[in-house]
Chains A and B, each alone.
Chain A
Amino acid sequence: MRILERVREQTAPPEGGVKPGFSDEALPHMDAVYRFALRLGQGRESDAHDLVQETFLRAYRSWDTYKRGTECRSWLFTICRNQFLKSASRLSRTQEIPTSQIDADVESLAASAVFSAVQHADPEKEFFDSFVDEEVMAAIDRLPDTFREAVVLSDLEGMGYPQVSEVLGVPVGTVKSRIFRGRRILQEALYEYALEMGYVGPRGQA
């Protein structure tokens, strides 16, 4: 559609009316911020709209505090997340998980139950090909908050551990354990779902 294309192409608002650099550096990340906001709010569309709007408003107001040349996307994600936590705290957000429960070394060695199950059930090795986007998003949305945000930043947005650490404000070791654990929970959820839907047979019956 013509209008749609034009609006998409022209991410920058008109010249002259905007703080220098804002349209070039911040606005191109609108899609990424939108995706992040959607997952933070477990897919609730209207919440995500408000959150993204609020994020860009705040980003615009505090544009002077953004260090030019650093990663703008991380900066925007941080604002978005803080904003989300502020509103979520009113709705009693889940407690932080004690670090003793999530150690990166232990987590990375944890048995990949899904892998061995799928190896038996899906000899064609096409397990992950059977899912459509909506199914994956629904599974992500059911992850506990702590793991969800780490997995989203890392796996959906392709951020490295240091960047995720910056956005979440926790050490890289903690980021790793959250990502690894989150991936394991997510894979298990996808496997359960695949069994239910008959995408794969039960263990031992391909």
Chain B
Amino acid sequence: MNEQKMIPCDHVIAQLWEYLDGELDELRSQEVRQHLERCARCFPEHDFRGAYLKLMRRCSTQQVPVELRRRIFETVLEEEHEAATAARPASGTGILERARFTLRRLLCGD
């Protein structure tokens, strides 16, 4: 068993968030890990904070409502239309019409 000197508990607690966030370099991360493997006081705290982070991840699942997604597509197309007509009054519209058509089809599930 490798019996090198362990870093003290308060050093571990001070670095615990960074350890869990994967922001420590390899050496410091290893020091914390080795301590946690043997310390009955720090390990539960590690688990507790880990459970917090897991909960936060689990909650991060909301998706853009379809209506808003549609609005954003339309906003972008609108913007493109304005840019196209400002730059080339005649030629931009063909592309735009095609785009609109495809978008409508898409949104209508046709």
Chain A to chain B contacts (Cβ below 8 Å), 24 pairs? A2-B109, A4-B66, A7-B69, A10-B106, A13-B77, A13-B99, A14-B100, A14-B106, A16-B99, A17-B84, A17-B96, A18-B76, A34-B62, A34-B63, A38-B62, A49-B68, A52-B64, A60-B79, A115-B44, A115-B45, A115-B49, A125-B48, A133-B59, A136-B55
CA distance A21 to B103 in the complex (A): 18
A160-B64 contact in complex given A125-B51, A128-B52, C-beta closer than 8 Å = no
- Count the B residues whose beta carbon is within 8 Å of the partner chain — how many? 55
Q: Is the CB of B98 within 8 A of A156?
A: no
Q: Separation in Å of the B47 CB from the closest CB of chain A?
A: 7
Q: B57 in the interface, Cβ–Cβ < 8 Å? A: yes
Q: Is the CB of A57 within 8 A of B109?
A: no
A31: B residues at CB distance < 8 A: 62-64
Q: Is the CB of B75 within 8 A of A56?
A: yes
**Interface positions of A from 92 to 130, Cβ below 8 Å from B:** 105, 108-109, 112, 115, 118-119, 125, 127-129
Interface residues of B (CB under 8 A from A): 10, 13-18, 21-23, 44-45, 47-49, 51-66, 68-73, 75-77, 79-80, 84, 95-96, 98-103, 106-109
Q: Separation in Å of the B72 CB from the closest CB of chain A?
A: 5
Q: Is the CB of A128 within 8 A of B51?
A: yes
Q: Which 3 A-B residue pairings sit nearest by Cβ, starting from the closest?
A: A17-B99, A3-B109, A14-B102
Q: Is the CB of A16 within 8 A of B68?
A: no
B47: A residues at CB distance < 8 A: 125
Number of A-B residue pairs at CB separation under 8 A: 143
Interface residues of A (CB under 8 A from B): 2-4, 6-8, 10-11, 13-19, 22, 27, 30-31, 34-35, 38, 49, 52-53, 56-57, 60-61, 105, 108-109, 112, 115, 118-119, 125, 127-129, 131, 133, 136-137, 154-158, 160-161, 176, 179-180, 183, 187
A131-B48 contact in complex given A14-B99, A17-B95, A180-B17, C-beta closer than 8 Å = no
A118: B residues at CB distance < 8 A: 48
CA distance A14 to B18 in the complex (A): 43
Q: Is the CB of A119 within 8 A of B62?
A: no
Contact among A34, A129, A158, A161 for B68, CB-based, below 8 A: A34
A17: B residues at CB distance < 8 A: 77, 80, 84, 95-96, 98-99
